Structure 1
Amino acid sequence: MVTPSMEPSEILVQLIEPAVKGTLNVLKACSEANVKRVVVVSSGAAVSLNPEWPKGQVKDETCWSDTEYCRRTNNWYCLSKTKAESEAFEYAKRSGLDVVRVCPTHVLGPMLQSTANASSLVLIKLSKEGYDEFENNLRMIVDVRDVAEALLLAYEKPEAEGRYICIAYMIKSQDLVEILRKNYPNYNYPKKFTEGKEEEKLSSEKLQKLGCSYRPIEETLVDSIESCRQAGLLYYMYVGTVGGGTQLASQSACLNLLGVKGASKESPGSNSRLLATIVAGSVLAGELSLMSAIAVG
């Protein structure tokens, strides 16, 4: 993991070199095994960071992030992705290996892992931190399931070639939050949005011509939140009436209030199921008037 205190030489060893060498090792192994086509998953980060690109012009597959600009601005992730894809491109030219590159932007949707990554963390923080102010920047989102479909198209379609930007939606943070608010009205969203700098846009036209289509963004956002809840990354909180007043409490506080023993810190999902059962029983017994249940973390 890259930290602000790391020296450029450390970043080179821990982030840049593994990205480049790892990509080349796989491509060389594919050549030796006589693989016909390789699909490399690059990133929109290898496309978007180019200050020399004409202002106002939508960025397409011909745009590359400027490596020197990445270094000057300490955008090490962008640098690693750009260098790795560039090496894949050059290797394909030298070796004749058919290499197709797909560049997804901000990937959301259901997670396979139980820990937050950089992409899901953005959504988690928007949902629970309650920022006083938040910059209303442009989010370039694609669903992980649509990325998987794009990779299949790039692999299976004979006409697939070169590079493909994979982006489904460009949406402002405030508009994204409004979609979340409609589905989860009690989350702790930013209180105010401030306008930032004007941001340039990317085009996925080439990939769509290949046959790729995208699911609705609301489906992506809702499935992302539900996935985070199931993984325990967004914990449950409950709104109820206790003593004549509305109360908001975390699931652990509710379990303590109800005198429940044996709650699991390691498995918040099991706590949620346990609490849901207890609360349902309490409502039937007239012990608690439950208004609504929410997951905010």
Structure 2
Amino acid sequence: MQEEMVEPAVRGTRYVIDAAAESGTVRRVVLTSSIGAVAMDPRREPDAVVDESCWSDLDFCKKTKNWYCYGKAAAERAAWEAAAARGVDLVVVVPVLVQGPALQPSVNASLMHVLKYLNGSAKTYANAVQAYVHVRDAADAHVRVFEAPRAAGRYICADAVLHREDVVRTLRKSFPGYPVPERCSDEVNPRKQPYKISNQRLRELGLEFTPAAQALYDTVVCFQEKGILPLPVPAPTPASPDA
């Protein structure tokens, strides 16, 4: 798994930086990183704010075999090293879990995060938290950091951090016809508290974030429009006693 996820990511990132440097015409490279490169740090205090200064702990990722986060962190670090060595102007957007309308016909891992709560495959929800952002905001962020002359460094792209209970409650309220789970899989441990995350740098570039609830809603509508999720059958109306 390490060879499959880490090495291609690192190698591919370096290739892009090298190609940009050798072209002689690229004025800025905008790299899409991931919250996986930022948030996986067991030493972070509960009240600490996750911002652009944070990095995932590579040793911890390796110890826990979290090769996704390891690969994202390693690839971004490689990009910064290569950009510095080749004199490339690099800016990095760090999206959290992206939701909203999808262009591709298939369901990727990010969208399956929501689909499983609607199609009956998940009977419970996890005692866990996640940060969310609308796909249009993620796209907007890339344009803004490319066009703004003063843009530099990393930019976390996130609206809010939600507990899974908040997610399923939002889905249930907007789409009551689907079998959204009502029970947590962990009924022993205390409810996980959302961590704090900063999107200040992108807001300073003028990005106004779409509420996470809207991103979830747009995701489900996309599923319906693509036929991935059938329209719910309305509950039958009870017969009138006088009928």
Compute the TM-score of the two structures, normalised by the length of structure 2: 0.89
In structure 1, the gaps of 5 or more residues are: 1-10, 245-297
Query: 1:114 & 1:16 partners in 2: Cα distance?
Result: 26
Q: Given the alignment, which residue of 214, 217, 225 partners 2:212?
A: 217
| 1:105–1:142 CA contact under 8 A, matched in 2 | yes
Query: 2:45 & 2:65 partners in 1: Cα distance?
Result: 22
Q: Which residue of structure 2 lines up, in the alignment, with residue 143 of structure 1?
A: 134
Per-residue CA deviations over 1:80-133 (Å, capped at 9, x if unaligned) read 100000001111221221000010000000000111101100100112327553
| 1:130–1:188 CA contact under 8 A, matched in 2 | no
SS in 2 for 1:61: coil
Compute the displacement of 1:237 (Å). Answer: 4.3
Per-residue CA deviations over 1:117-168 (Å, capped at 9, x if unaligned) read 0110010011232755322422210011000100011100011001111101
What amino acid is the match of 1:22? G
SS in 2 for 1:107: strand
Sequence identity of aligned pairs in percent?
36
Tell whether 2:222 aligns with 1:231: no
Q: Given the alignment, which residue of 25, 29, 36 partners 2:15?
A: 25
Query: 1:220 & 1:133 partners in 2: Cα distance?
Result: 21
**Higher percent of residues as strand:** 1
Compute the displacement of 1:229 (Å). Answer: 1.5
Q: Given the alignment, which residue of 80, 97, 102 partners 2:71?
A: 80
Q: Which residue of structure 2 lines up, in the alignment, with residue 67 of structure 1?
A: 58
In structure 2, the gaps of 5 or more residues are: none
Equivalent residues, number: 233
What amino acid is the match of 1:173? R
Query: 2:14 & 2:93 partners in 1: Cα distance?
Result: 16
| 1:58–1:201 CA contact under 8 A, matched in 2 | yes
Tell whether 2:143 aligns with 1:152: yes
Compute the TM-score of the two structures, normalised by the length of structure 1: 0.73
Two-structure CA RMSD over aligned residues (Å): 1.9
SS in 2 for 1:119: helix
Q: Which residue of structure 1 lines up, in the alignment, with residue 48 of structure 2?
A: 57
Per-residue CA deviations over 1:192-248 (Å, capped at 9, x if unaligned) read 134544453321112211222112333212211011122222123424659x8xxxx
Query: Which structure has the greater CA radius of gyration?
Result: 1
Q: Larger relative contact order (C-alpha < 8 A, sep ≥ 6)? A: 2
